[in-house]
Amino acid sequence: MLEWTKSPNAPVRIALLLFDRFSNLCLANCLEPLRAANTLGPRRGFDWQILTLDGAPARSSSGIEVLAHGGLGALTACDYLFVLASYDHERHDTAAARRALQAAARRAGVTVGLDSGPWLLASAGLLDGRRATVHWDLLDAFTERFLTVTPERARVLRDGTRMTCAGAMSALDLTLRLISDHLGMAVRLDVEALFLHGDPPVTPTREDVAVGDPLVRRALGLMRDHVERPLSLSDLARRLSCQPRTLDRRFRAGLGAPPGAVYRHLRLAAARKLVENTRLGMAEIALRSGYESPAALTRALRRQYGTTPRALRHG
C-alpha cells in the first residue's frame, strides 16, 4: 500500500559498483534524485558509496573519471547493491568478476543490475529462475545466452531480492520508486517536480502503476498551476469532470493521502523553494504560495519541515 510519508530509522545504504565505460547518464539518474530526496525530505534518507572491483577509479563511456571509495571486497553490508555496466560488458564478464558479484550479493539486501549490469548478474548465476530485463539492445542476445532467466522487455523489473533496469532513462524510474518506497510519495512528488515539472511523467512500470493514474496526474498539474490562488476541492473536481469523492478515493489509492493534504504539500514545497532560492520577502512568498499572511505561512512551514524560514534561507 502506498504511503504519503515515511520516516526510516536510518538512511538506506546503497553501494554502486561501476565498471569501466559505464553510462554517466545512468549514474546521474540514480544519484541526483537521491541527493534531491536527502535535501527535500525531513531527514537524510539515503547514503551511498562508489565502488569498483579493485578500488581504482572508473572511467565512463565519455571519458570522465570517477574516484571510488573502495574495492568491492571491502563491502560489509548494504541495503542495495547497484551494478552499473554499459559498454564492454563481455570484457567485464570474467571469472573473478562473477565470484566477486556472488560474494557481494550475499551482503546486499537487494542486488540491482542497471543497463548491461543484468548481463553480469545473470552470468554470475544471480538471476537464475527470475524475471529480468536488460538494455533493450542486448535483449535478444541475453535471451539466447541465459536460458535459466525469464527475459522481459520492461523498463524496471523486481523479482524478489533482484531488480533489473533497461538503461539510463529507466534508472530514473527505478530511483523514483526507491524514494517512494522508503520516504513516501510526498518526497517523490517533490523530486519529480524538480526534475520533470513541465514534462510528461515517467512511464510507470507494471508494478508501479498507481503513480500513473491519469486523473491524479491531471489534478496534480492543476494544483501546481494554481499555487498562488488555490482551487477548492469542488472546483478541482469540476475541472476534472469528476465527483469530489472520486478524486479523494483516487488520491488515497494513488498517493496515500487526500487531495487537500497533497495540495497543501505542493504549496509549501513551492514556498520553500522561494525561501531558499530567492531574496523575496515573506509577505511576497506567502502571496505566491496562497497563504493569507507571512505568519500563517511561517506556522505551516514549521509544521511541515520542523524549521523556520530564516533557517531554511541561511541553512
From first to last of the 315 residues of the chain, give the pLDDT tens digit.
578 888 888 999 999 999 999 999 999 999 999 999 998 887 899 999 999 999 999 999 999 999 999 999 999 899 999 999 999 999 999 999 999 999 999 999 999 999 999 999 999 999 999 999 999 999 999 999 999 999 999 999 999 999 999 989 899 999 999 999 999 999 998 898 887 654 444 444 433 433 578 899 899 989 999 999 999 999 999 999 999 999 999 999 989 999 999 999 999 999 998 998 888 999 999 999 999 999 999 999 999 888 889 888 876
Domain at 213-310, CATH class: mainly alpha
- Which pairing describes strands 150-151 and 131-132: parallel, antiparallel, or unpaired? parallel
The Cα 68–Cα 56 span in angstroms is: 6
Q: Is the dihedral of CA 156, 158, 159, 161 positive or negative?
A: positive
Helix then strand count (H, E) for the chain reads 14, 11
Q: Where are the domains of the chain?
A: 12-177, 213-310
List of residues 6+ apart from 230 with CB closer than 8 A: 223, 263, 267, 290
List of residues 6+ apart from 277 with CB closer than 8 A: none
CATH of span 12-177: 3.40.50.880
